[in-house]
Amino acid sequence: MSDNCCIVTRLDTQEDRYQVSLFLVTIGQDALEIYNIFEYATSEDKNKLRTLTDKFDAYFVGELNETYERYVFNQRCHNASESFECYYSSLKYLAKTCNFGTLQDSLIKDRVILCIRHNDTRKR
């Protein structure tokens, strides 16, 4: 969000948490999926609008590093608090920038089998 927009809407007078919440409800579902994969140095950084907009800038403007994208994909594991659907969706999203070609579905399946937290799901 531009500084001028923050000034005109008086968003800059609101607390950080409110600024981030307003931003998140206006960016749309596709951007929310991107937001959900961001990692932060501290929990406080996540509540700063400037940090959040810098992460989006780096994501959309930054140069694509295929090797790094594959590293991020291969580091993604199923978190205890997330549903399988959320984990699987995250893998599909991360795979888009990896240039896996025809192996994409197979590599996603491998990642699920390696990192899923539920053995019953792994077996299926």
**pLDDT score recorded for residue 94:** 93
Q: Is 8 exposed, middle or buried (0-12, 13-18, 19+ CB in 10 A)?
A: exposed
**pLDDT score recorded for residue 21:** 87
No. of H helices and E strands in the chain?
Answer: 8, 0
Q: What is the mean pLDDT of each run of 10 residues along the chain (124 residues)?
A: 71 85 87 87 78 84 83 91 88 92 94 83 76
**pLDDT score recorded for residue 79:** 85
**pLDDT score recorded for residue 103:** 95
Work out the end-to-end distance of the chain between its first and last CA atoms, rounded to an integer number of angstroms. Answer: 44
What is the model's pTM? 0.49
- With both helix axes pointing from N to C terminus, report the angle between 104-115 and 84-95 in degrees, rounded to the nearest 10: 140
**pLDDT score recorded for residue 2:** 58
